[in-house]
Amino acid sequence: MPEDPRKAELLEHAQAHLFRSARDYGEPIIARGRGATLVDTDGKEYLDFGSGQMAASIGHNHPAITEALQRSSERILHLNTHLVSEEVIELARSLADLLPPQLQKVMLLSTGGESTEVALKVAKMFTGRFEVVGLLQGYHGHTGGALSVTFSNARGGYGPWVPGGMAIPTPYCYRCPLSMTFPSCDYACAKLGFDMIDAQSTGSLAAFIAEPILSAAGIIEPPPGYFPFVKRMCEERGMLFIMDEAQTGLGRVGATFAFEQDGVVPDVLALSKTLGAGLPLAAMVTSEEIEQDCHDKGMSFISSHQNDPFAAAIGLAVIEVLVKEGLADQARAKGQHLKDAYLRMKEDHPIIGDVRGRGLLLGMELIRDPETREPAVDETRRLTKRCLENGLILQQASYANIANVWRIAPPMTATYEELDRGVEILDKSMTELGL
């Protein structure tokens, strides 16, 4: 493959001028992408099994998105936050059409962190309280309020977080925090968690927030019935129930929204990543009652790119593709195909401890020993690197800072051939490393 003559210089500039966020920047330097494939400046191709930052769920540079961008650039891209455009109104209506009657009021935003901030503000304003309960390994963004209810990331070095953030244990059945087994545990982690919250609360419990599947923590899928159980505990305490469907919303899990599969309707829904499918678009959705109450109390949230027409046009294009191409059904079928292939691989590679998740949001956990389930951290790192060299991008995730899981989320538009090729590359990489 021809070496890009500018590569050394670009890498030098990256080192000189990019402020690092936990990691170094280096090769590959990506030049372009289409569908599930990225191409670097040397012309080498990679299958992107992370859909960018878990967002490009209908594939990189989908023609519907590039057309929407083109159309927007001929109409209007950006507006004063208080001026609405046709695209913004239509997107709010289209989202409402996909949602149950309890979720009809939409605020359009840009990022997942922002959608968490607004969800929390709404819950606090509506209840008149300030305490928010999350899951110990939940992830809701890096803005101040969001990180105050995100406990899986290092929180030190920035002074105090927003008061009132508390956590209950993560329902991680593969490594149960209470060493129990589902279903005989009878949701003991939630019961203990809320006992601890009740003891610590100042009597100001506003909300509970969770991802339907904890992605950053390594695709942890709470057991069946967990969320209805927790929602009842919230209702007993007058708390709102917030679901953060940044990654699970809009088809990826094999339903339009994961909460449909979980048998609960949240009071507040946060959407982001998959709504813009790779471009900055997010939303907070709630009920007419909650919206009216917050409005009456004078709630405001303003940001420069709220209600941007170009982002709304992209959201509309994403929903159109989702519905027209039946992507939720595709994600269910393709996800099962991929999961079955990984489960077959597990028979030949004992390092694979667990394969989990649903639709095209899968997790693979690597272990050193099937008895002790010791996390295979170094092996995961070496395999991630080898897969990249072999043309497959896999994203490492970590539970309690132990990174031995891949979160596997190819675009829903990936072909079966691409999914199979990704499996072959992983199989080959494991074999090359003798794992």
Ligand X SMILES: Cc1ncc(COP(=O)(O)O)c(C=O)c1O
For ligand X, the binding residues (CB under 6 A) are: 111-113, 116, 139-141, 211, 215-216, 244, 246-247, 272
Shortest distance in whole angstroms from residue 298 CB to ligand X: 26
Do residues 427 and 395 lie in contact, with contact meaning Cβ atoms separated by under 8 Å? no
CA 77 – CA 71 distance, rounded (Å):
9
Smaller CB separation from ligand X, 41 or 110: 110
Smaller CB separation from ligand X, 118 or 376: 118
CA 32 – CA 13 distance, rounded (Å):
19
Smaller CB separation from ligand X, 306 or 429: 306
Whole-angstrom distance between the N-terminal and C-terminal Cα of the chain?
Answer: 28
Smaller CB separation from ligand X, 256 or 272: 272
Smaller CB separation from ligand X, 52 or 141: 141
Residue 421 token pair: 């090729």
Shortest distance in whole angstroms from residue 103 CB to ligand X: 18
Smaller CB separation from ligand X, 111 or 306: 111
The sign of the torsion formed by the CA atoms of 86, 309, 360, 139 equals negative
Shortest distance in whole angstroms from residue 108 CB to ligand X: 14
Report the residue closest to ligand X, judged by CB.
112
Smaller CB separation from ligand X, 49 or 139: 139
Shortest distance in whole angstroms from residue 144 CB to ligand X: 12
For residue 153, which of 21, 8, 55 has the smallest C-alpha distance? 21
Smaller CB separation from ligand X, 92 or 119: 119
CA 108 – CA 122 distance, rounded (Å):
14
The sign of the torsion formed by the CA atoms of 218, 389, 393, 28 equals positive
Shortest distance in whole angstroms from residue 113 CB to ligand X: 3
Shortest distance in whole angstroms from residue 55 CB to ligand X: 8
Shortest distance in whole angstroms from residue 325 CB to ligand X: 24
Shortest distance in whole angstroms from residue 388 CB to ligand X: 20
Q: At what angle do helices 416-432 and 327-348 cross, to 10 degrees?
A: 20
